[in-house]
Structure 1
Amino acid sequence: MNTVRRSFWHEPRPAGAPSVGRLDRLLVSIYAVATVIEGIVRPEVAWRPLVTVLALAVTPALLWRRDRPLVAALLGWGVAGLLSVLQLAEDTEDLGLYSMMVVLILLFSLVRWGSGREVVVGTAYVTVVGALGMYATSADWGESFGGSVLLLSVVALAAVSRYRADLWQRQQLEIRNQERVALARELHDTVAHHVSAIAVQAQAGGVVAGIQPEKAVEVLAAIESEASRTLAEMRSMVQVLRDDEAAAYAPQKGVADLPTLARTDATPIVAVTVAGSWGELAGPVDAALYRLAQESLTNAVRHARGATHVEIDLRREGDAARLRVTDDGQAEPGPAPEPGFGLTGMAERAQLLGGSLSAGPGPDGGWVVEAVLPVEAPA
């Protein structure tokens, strides 16, 4: 419940709120023409030129009603409030055009597409302007009740429309998540099948190589073909699973991108040191060093209690690359916690490249993640 309330309060506007389109422009054109015609054919309206100009001033609000619903409501209902003030000052009963009823659309748009903060501020403003209008027209109890019911009906209709749109959005997201889970299971089954086939052929190749060396070439070709088919199927499925990313594969980040992780404008401060020459670094190792540093930094920012400084240090030691990520956070009392899935995945990534990874409390406090990877990736 609290999550929903915070989302409603801080969300700029619900997902799916469209920008200005052809229908909005048509609505604006109809309103402008109707306002001009009404200003001409209603001679009983006091101050017709001024009233017509003020009514036309609402036109931009109709274009902003989706993208900036609060601004649109303040503008439209501000014009209505100004007309009520003029009506009180002139003590006249007829100061306004029927086309000004378009401000009800602005109230609907405010509740439909505004954030929680905008809805609260906007509806309070509309309530004040509406009460001022009823007072200016000397409305009796019945007219005041009818006007209030009309405003509440517009608010209720917008709230229902907003709820139905959010419900539809959640249903679509749930359907997509179910499809993603199904694809993930299919990916697992596909990879497991092909890897099993590769393992069997590799075992057979070890036997054949000792008896019939010429047959080993055929086995290696079959393994290569099976591996290529596995990679192709994996990439096609992963491309579907990455619904929030571009379809094209972007270049992987590496050691050259480590300085971008540094920051001095937030807590904890992140310092990055890269020492040595990294020109001939193998591609998989290059990408793994960046990912290990990035994941270690993310863990430090999220979980290190009271951390004010995180240091990422990468150095080359002969044929090995040593990555060390430390923070000055406060260690939890008691024994070191069991490694989570994140650290386990990082350790497996390092082991696949022939390296190692360790993580634990530092001797001087804080948390230390250290990875050692060979510069040349294993075959």
Structure 2
Amino acid sequence: MPLALLVSALLIAVVAVVRTRGDLVAGEGPLRGIAYGALGWAAVLAVGLLRRRSPRWTVVVAAVLAMAADLLQPVPPFALFPFGIALALAVVRDAWRWAIGTIGVAYLVSLTAVFVSDDPLTAARGFGSMVVLLVALGAGAFLRARRLQRQEEERVQAERQRTAIEEERLRIARELHDVLAHSLSSITVQAGVGLHLAQDRPAAAVEALETIRGASKEALDEVRGVLGQLRGAESAPLVPGPDLDALLPLVEEARRTGARVHLDDRLLPRPGRPVQLAVYRVVQEALTNARRHAPGAEVDIVLARDGDAALATVRDRLPGADPGTPVPGNGITGMRERAAALGGALDVRPHPDGLEVALRVPIPEVVA
């Protein structure tokens, strides 16, 4: 807009000089040309100074000054340019009612000039002035539409970024919770075993310490992988975490803590890595919950396919137990978020002797 105002000021100045010189040559006074230039420049200054503060008053002041200048020198209609710029700015900045009102008043002024004059050229000039203003109004409407579209695109982009950041934050929180909760639970159990057997069975205590060291190292490696993903390290795995082939070592680790775990793995052929990771983490969290809330329970793990979906069921059985209704905590919430992220579902339901965790996740088709 500053460039458009500068061009308008230069054009008005040229017309004012030419008109003043012509009047002097014709033996008339220079007042008409001077007044035209003063009014036109005043309109330019008004738009330049007021456009950011009040687009409403800008269009009103510019309309009065520009129309006055245009009545003095209607051809060429350069004096209307500041008014047109003010109209466009008013529409862009949501003062379109004021823009329509001022252009309506300007139309009445031009129409009056047409009817009171018998000169056909004057009538043509009046209609020409209205065309200039209507073009400016249309330009303002176009710019306003572009502005609104840009704002909507920016809002959508910001929402996408916010959603992506939130999803990434939740993913990292799930990874850290699953790794640390399982490992720390295993370490706590093994530490208790070591303390209990330290004096009577030193060999068993040493074995418990070896298990603690292995669990600590595994947890540290996985946490480093998650943190590497967060920092964007090139060495970090693209999909942090183990696959289903790591389930057997997970079960063996649980058995070393005294748990009775049975694994029935019929999920063949293997699904994609994201599905494997989700299944592994759900089984890992279910084992952690069984060890924490139902120590000594017998746990059955069943993995299978059902058409284009992967199924995982973890059922703990402790005769006489009363699990009650499970209260969703970080672990259950994280399992459900994992399932939902892949378009699946997770169900946690009690049964007479314990708790059952059932996961169903669709397996994406492999595009050849």
TM-score bin (small chain) = 0.3 to 0.5
Higher helix share: 2
Between structure 1 and structure 2, the one with the greater Rg is 2
The normalised TM-score by structure 2 is 0.45
Give me the TM-score of the superposition, normalised by structure 1. Answer: 0.44
